[in-house]
Amino acid sequence: MFVAWIVAAALCLPAFAQDSSAKPPRSAAKKPPNEVSQARREQAKIYETRGEEVPATYVTDRALLSYGSTLLADFINTLANLGPSDRWLDIGAGQGRAILEYYGERFDAMNPEGRDRRGSKAQSVALSIEDRRTAEWHKIAAALEPGKISYLHGKRLREYTPAELGRFQLASDVYGGFSYSSDLSRFMARILDLLKTGGSFYTLLINVQTASATSKGGKRDAEFQTEILAADGMPVGICAWLRQIGCAEVTCDTDPRSETPIERYRIRKTCEQVSVPVLEPVHFAAGTPPVRVFRLVAPIAPQLP
Ligand SMILES: C[S@@+](CC[C@H](N)C(=O)[O-])C[C@H]1O[C@@H](n2cnc3c(N)ncnc32)[C@H](O)[C@@H]1O
């Protein structure tokens, strides 16, 4: 059983934005509270689970169809339009099933448009902290042209240098690092580093205060899975935070089929000088996914209608 730690952080820090290409500002680089570090260790134990020990709610084998119905509606279309010189990064890929299915004939049968352009399809990189590759992965990887797919494990996204991973036209994250990271602004900055200008990142979060709920009142009345608070303790929507990123065009919507609020995001990189407003972790409780509360270091500018 995992224990929740609550830290009441009382710091009010100066405003700045995180420049992903520059050295992180001092306060962004400072150590997280001890409770967060302890919870990270508990979280690491989940990644180590195998066989019957894997928590039932830790799903690592979602199909590509599930990615399509979980992410914003145009994800599959964007994937189907990639050509052989493009690259797709799946962050938190688990077993990598979605990537394997992309190379199957079924994908082409279901997405006949753009088939010629796709040719031998994009190069794909699956990223997972732990190695969850299956026999199926090894079989398909061996049958594809060398280097077409790769599976990287043993590190979190932010521990890779951009040079190690290269650049991508498309990135996805279905209950991967975007839901699990204890340092969300660094995670986001790293993804944007890895995207080519014009490239897109598709992801989602479960049980968040959605943009529409935030605009109705903003009072915190439930425990959310991922939450951002301003210095005065008022909630800041995830979408509002994303929309403050420099050089990014952000689309957010709420999955209408889900009773639990699920917000889906597409972040398109529009230029190179990316800046991500810094979030400090103030609460992190291990889980699938973990419960996370962040404090926004810089005040957020009002949104234009
Ligand atoms: C619940 S599984 C989801 C797997 C897959 N996306 C699916 O839907 O079946 C979570 C995955 O995210 C990975 N993950 C969590 N935090 C990560 C991080 N910071 N960087 C890279 N991978 C991460 C885990 O190692 C695991 O592969």
Ligand 1 pocket check for 175: Cβ under 6 Å: yes
Least Cα distance to 127 among 83, 73, 181, 84 occurs for 181
Where does the pLDDT of residue 257 fall: very low under 50, low under 70, confident under 90, or very high at 90 and above? confident
Best residue for ligand 1 mutational test, from 40, 61, 91 (most atoms within 8 Å of Cβ): 91
Ligand 1 pocket check for 181: Cβ under 6 Å: yes
pLDDT digits (tens, 9 = 90+) for 185-200: 999 999 999 999 999 9
Spatial contact of 292 and 283, defined as CB atoms under 8 Å apart: yes
CA distance 67 to 70: 5
Ligand 1, atom 8, lies closest to the CA of 62
Ligand 1, atom 16, lies closest to the CA of 177
Best residue for ligand 1 mutational test, from 175, 178, 292 (most atoms within 8 Å of Cβ): 175
Q: Any idea of the CA torsion for 242, 246, 249, 254, to the nearest 10 degrees?
A: 10
Which ligand 1 atom minimizes the distance to the CA of 288? 1
Maximum average pLDDT range among 3-7, 221-225, 245-249: 245-249
The mean pLDDT value of the chain amounts to: 87
**For range 288-300, the mean pLDDT:** 89
14: pLDDT strictly greater than 60? no
pLDDT score for 301: 60
pLDDT digits (tens, 9 = 90+) for 118-175: 999 999 999 999 999 999 999 999 999 999 999 999 999 999 999 999 999 999 999 9
